[in-house]
Amino acid sequence: MSIFERYEMVCGVETHVELATKTKIFCGCTTEFGGEQNTHVCPVCLGLPGVLPVLNREVVNLAIKAGLALNCEIAEFSKFDRKNYYYPDLPKNYQTSQYDLPICKNGWLLIETEEGPKKIGITRAHMEEDAGKLVHSGETITTSDESYVDYNRTGVPLLEIVSEPDMRSISEVLAYLEQLVQILEYTEASDCRMEQGSVRFDINVSLRPRGSAEFGIRTETKNLNSFSSVRRCLEYELARQAEVLDSGDKVIQETRTWDEGRGMTLSLRSKEEAHDYRYFPEPDLVPLVIEREWVERIRRDLPELPAARRERLQSLGLSAYDAGVITSSKGLADFFDQALRTCPDAKSLANWVMGDFTRLLKAAEISVIHSPIAPEQLAQMVNLIEKGTISGKIGKSVIEEMFASGKDAEVIVKEKGLAQISDESALVKIIDEVIGNNPASVEDYRAGKERAIGFLVGQVMKATKGQANPGLVNKLLKERLT
Amino acid sequence: MELTAKSAAELHRLLENKEISASELTKAYLERINALEDKVKAFVTLTEDSALKQAAEVDSKLGRGDKLGPLEGIPMALKDNMCTEGVRTTCSSKILENFVPPYNATVAERLRQAGAIMLGKLNMDEFAMGSSTENSAFHVTRNPWDLERVTGGSSGGSAAAVAADQAVFTLGSDTGGSIRQPAAFCGVVGLKPTYGAVSRYGLIAYASSLDQIGPFTKDVRDNALVMNAIAGHDPKDSTSVPYEKPDYTEFLVNDIKGLKIGIPREYFGQGIDAEVDKVLRQAIETLKALGAEVEECSMPHTEYAMPAYYLIAPAEASSNLARYDGVRYGYRAQEAEDIISMFKKTRAEGFGDEVKRRIMLGTYALSAGYYDAYYLKAQKVRTLIKRDFDRVLEKYDVLLVPTAPTVAFKFGEKSTDPLAMYLSDVCTVPLNLAGLPGLTLPAGFAGGMPVGLQLMGKPFDEGTLYRVAYTFEQNTDFHKAKPAFPGEVA
Amino acid sequence: MKISRKDVEHVALLARLELTEEEIEAYTGQLDSILEYAAMLNRLDTDNVEPTAHAVPLHNVLRTDEVRRSIEREKALQNAPDSEDGFFRVPKIV
């Protein structure tokens, strides 16, 4: 019996995303990923004695942008606070963050569920600085005798987006996360490079008996960095909580960590741990007064968001499914839109984008922004098919050639002589030969077996290595046989 | 008159007229330091070699016939909480004993650019927490006027070095009186500028919303000259104010006719030593005679400044000092089995008693359940204190109050009772809470020890403080008095 | 007494200070008398008073998003009590 027959899950997620700035939140060090350890640091982000922070304007711009895309209210007055706790990856042993006056609050986004669209509330989103990275001498933090600290990531700007506890199933959680990441990617507030850890999730989850109105006791599992980890973590954690509840015990409210290798969550309790962040206003930074004009300027520049884009594509005749596939990544959707400018047939274009084009990208492990085929080039190829210059079948080999060489479809078609034979006099000669060589089929057709013409068309196509225009062949054959 | 007794303005003239060279001047100061240091102990670090190198550069400039800036070639020293690239900066703490900053504080950079010659780094109460410089992890600094007495604090080294002519001028920092009180105790001029007038970048923080750097000088003119060099907006400090910086020497006029001076009576209440009170009453009479309109006034929230300060400053300090954990710089305790015990031992062994006490107090004031009752309450009281100032400063150009309730006290006199020590800041703390400028200058003597009067002014109106101070100085001789060291002819 | 020995021990843990027996005892008494003194603030009615966090009324102090050179790693590590291979080294974390 599934635990969900007895219990209902209640889940909220805190998402930390790196904002896509060139420099750190409080100093001019680069935010570039992958530098050698401790090379993207300066006195400010190392927290040397005497240094002071100066806020990066772009961090505020991107936070406002993300907030607007998530339907948040943008605060008129906002400030930074210090969150005090000791950890070796935190150079000042406090994190400059926002406490009671976050920049964004009261937002929402829509997810698709089996029962239709559902609104997931966003409590708040606030700006803060990232911490450094620890490398452990042993396999895990608990088995290491010493650790090594790299402060390159220290001070990279983060937006922490806190959802309401509105999600009631694992698929709702995943839908929320996918939707959230998609929106952030669309607004370009964040690159959302999950594989580089630029998006991290803290999952707050509890179970309650079905029908109960009160929330159960929750746990918080920190620092998950992929959708699949979130799914596996929730499966494990919910089963664990159900077992605790089934045995009549209480779940302990605590912070846990996800062990990817063992596929389980582990308690992070420690007797030395005393949680009291002692927030107070950051005296080294002055408040933000966000004029409405500033917000409106950013609102005007907001790109089309995924939901609006799906709607537009459907209005062009794409199915809901196709529109969903194309808008699932901003890169693919941008590619499609760019190609659409010179390609009148949206449906046909969509089929090629979702079909062969995507297949080729996947096989070559290339992201759409690095595609060797430009959107205009794909549009040109689709147009050649629509005009009848090449057949769809030839198109499949042309796109492969385009992908390999980067050449235009027209050039390939010309170089390889792939254009369909639409010259009647040339075709008539071949057709006459086929008629002469296949008297039985000719007889059948004349006797009223309409299907026999298909065989004869096939023979002509074979003789022209597929380059004959099949419509024209059909027409000419019929003329000769009557 | 000894070369080392001269002001920056006088020395500038001698340098420009080639009557002395910058090297001679620097050597004279280094000799003076060496001769007196075992008595005064104002310095934590001496930078003789780089000082002489700097002086040689100034001399070659002089040789080329170039004009010198007003502070070019003038020997000075910095309180050891201002970061100096390549020169260790200790905050007089064991935890930073070997810390060598890879960068310059903005003030250090500006003085370097102005061509001032750095002789070394000055002793202080550890992390600027104290009122006597007895809290230095290294040694105490002695008051040049009486070696049995404290210099005041926390910028004790900065005040003593100027009083003992070991530097032409020095910089100190003032969080609750740390420039003004030692300036008064040592008989020199000290200015705490308006919060935001001088960059805090590179000043090792004690309490960020109160800290401000300012000059110690032998007279008022020098003070204005140093402010000309160090003040002004700095994009590296978000709390630095982009105000239009005047030429502060333009305020040095011998005229205060019609100027309105308020005397807030709360500062003259109980606890003020009778002799100190007498000196101040005399100073008030002098200013009246010079044409100032003097009037008593009231600032009813004054008595609440001390308790508010002793919640706000330690709270900020508890967070500012969290970074000293033995990971990136500074002292690290050995033989800790894990990171938490390494942190705890490092901080226990690296910090002195007063620093620990304030970290404890501040951590408590911010902790869950007490924030509203202590920290938030203190910040609200800060608003009331600010309003007191706003109100009286609408009516008066400056306010005149004592700098400290007593003259410099003897070593050990207050160091066993933290609260008694804290109360010696009672006249200076309110100004920091309001973020306003304050200037202390010699106003007379009580029992042979200097007494300083304190002028408090409107935001960014250091100019009027200079005007009043300059006029007083021009009409009195107190700033000319020099301490006599045993073995020296007075 | 406002402050108990237990409070002092808890605060010392929050502040990562290992205190001796004598220190715990001394700080308990001293913090108590300082807080007793600070309690005089309660004589003031501050219900409708805004707190002051900054001495100056500045807002929106922002810098442009332009990359500045970082410092050399050697300099970043020059004051480190323990480092290896370009990392800061610390003892066992959990």
CA distance A420 to A434: 18
- What percent of chain B has pLDDT above 90? 93
Do the bridges between strand B189-192 and strand B438-446 make them parallel or antiparallel, or are there none, so unpaired?
A: antiparallel
- Residue range A139-174, pLDDT digits in tens: 777 777 899 999 999 999 999 999 999 999 999 999
Residue C61 in any domain: the answer is: no
Residue C37 in any domain: the answer is: yes
Residue C29 in any domain: the answer is: yes
- Residue range A24-71, pLDDT digits in tens: 999 999 999 989 999 999 999 999 999 999 999 999 999 999 999 999
**Domains of chain B: residue spans and CATH:** 8-254 (3.90.1300.10)
Which chain A residue shows the shortest CA-CA distance from C14? Answer: A274
- Helix (H), strand (E) counts: chain C: 3, 3
- Asked whether the beta carbons of residue B371 and residue A284 sit closer than 8 angstroms, the reply is no
In the residue annotation, B155 being an active-site residue is answered as no
Residues of C in contact with B196 (CB under 8 A): 55-56, 58
ipTM of the complex: 0.97
pTM summary value: 0.90
CATH of residue C15's domain is 1.10.20.60
User: Residue type for A105, please?
Assistant: K
Print the domain residue range for C23: 5-42
In the residue annotation, B386 being an active-site residue is answered as no
Q: How far is B203 from chain A (nearest CA, A)?
A: 5
Which of B99, B204, B239 minimises the CB distance to A286?
Answer: B239
pLDDT of residue A427: 82
pLDDT of residue A413: 85
pLDDT-based confidence at residue A388 (cuts at 50, 70, 90)? confident
- Whether chain A has a CB inside 8 Å of the CB on C75: the answer is no
| Mean local confidence (pLDDT), B123-151 | 97
- Whether chain A has a CB inside 8 Å of the CB on C5: the answer is no
Mean of all residue pLDDT scores within chain A: 91
- Which has the higher per-residue pLDDT, B385 or B336? B385
Residues of A in contact with C16 (CB under 8 A): 86
Residues of B in contact with C41 (CB under 8 A): 304, 307-308, 311, 377-378, 381
Q: Which helix (H) or strand (E) holds A236?
A: helix A227-246
Buried b (16+ CB within 10 A) or exposed e, B426-450: bbbbbbbbbbbbbbbbbbbbbeebb
Domain count, chain C: 1
- Residue range A338-372, pLDDT digits in tens: 999 999 999 999 999 999 999 999 999 888 989 99
Select which of B6, B41, B79, B482 is catalytic: B79
pLDDT-based confidence at residue A393 (cuts at 50, 70, 90)? confident
CA distance A161 to A246: 33
- Asked whether the beta carbons of residue B318 and residue C80 sit closer than 8 angstroms, the reply is no
Mean pLDDT (10-residue bins), chain C, 94 residues? 89 96 95 93 96 93 97 96 95 84
Indicate if the pLDDT at residue B489 is higher than 50: no
In the residue annotation, B154 being an active-site residue is answered as yes
Residue C19 in any domain: the answer is: yes
| Mean local confidence (pLDDT), B375-395 | 97
- Asked whether the beta carbons of residue A280 and residue B315 sit closer than 8 angstroms, the reply is yes
- Asked whether the beta carbons of residue A278 and residue B96 sit closer than 8 angstroms, the reply is no
Residue C13 in any domain: the answer is: yes
CB-defined contacts A:B, below 8 A: 101
Q: Backbone phi, then psi, for A23, in 5-degree steps?
A: -120, 170
Helix axes B274-289, B462-474, angle to 10 degrees: 90
- Asked if B324 contacts B95 with a C-beta cutoff of 8 angstroms, the reply is yes
pLDDT of residue A274: 59
Residue C77 in any domain: the answer is: no
- Whether chain C has a CB inside 8 Å of the CB on A141: the answer is yes
Residue C67 in any domain: the answer is: no
pLDDT of residue A349: 94
pLDDT of residue B486: 62
Q: How far is A87 from chain B (nearest CA, A)?
A: 9
Helix axes A330-340, A375-387, angle to 10 degrees: 50
pLDDT of residue B446: 97
Select which of B7, B132, B136, B178 is catalytic: B178
- Residue range A468-477, pLDDT digits in tens: 887 888 888 8
Sign of CA dihedral B348, B353, B359, B362: positive
Indicate if the pLDDT at residue A271 is higher than 70: no
- A38-52, A107-121, A386-400, range with greatest mean pLDDT: A38-52
Q: Which helix (H) or strand (E) holds A449?
A: none
Residue C50 in any domain: the answer is: no
- Asked whether the beta carbons of residue B319 and residue A278 sit closer than 8 angstroms, the reply is yes
- Asked if A115 contacts C63 with a C-beta cutoff of 8 angstroms, the reply is no
Q: CB count, 10 Å around CB of B274?
A: 7
pLDDT of residue A416: 81
pLDDT of residue A424: 78
- Asked if A213 contacts A149 with a C-beta cutoff of 8 angstroms, the reply is no
Which chain C residue shows the shortest CA-CA distance from A48? Answer: C76
- Residue range A440-470, pLDDT digits in tens: 888 888 888 888 888 888 888 888 877 788 7
pLDDT of residue A272: 46
- Asked whether the beta carbons of residue B204 and residue A82 sit closer than 8 angstroms, the reply is no
Sign of CA dihedral A27, A32, A33, A36: negative
Do the bridges between strand B260-264 and strand B293-297 make them parallel or antiparallel, or are there none, so unpaired?
A: parallel
Indicate if the pLDDT at residue A11 is higher than 80: yes
Residues on chain A bordering chain B, Cβ-to-Cβ distance under 8 angstroms = 43, 46-55, 82, 84, 86, 88, 91-94, 147, 149, 272, 276, 278-280, 283-286
pLDDT of residue A273: 55
Tokens coding A351: 């089929």
pLDDT of residue B490: 43
- What percent of chain A has pLDDT above 90? 65
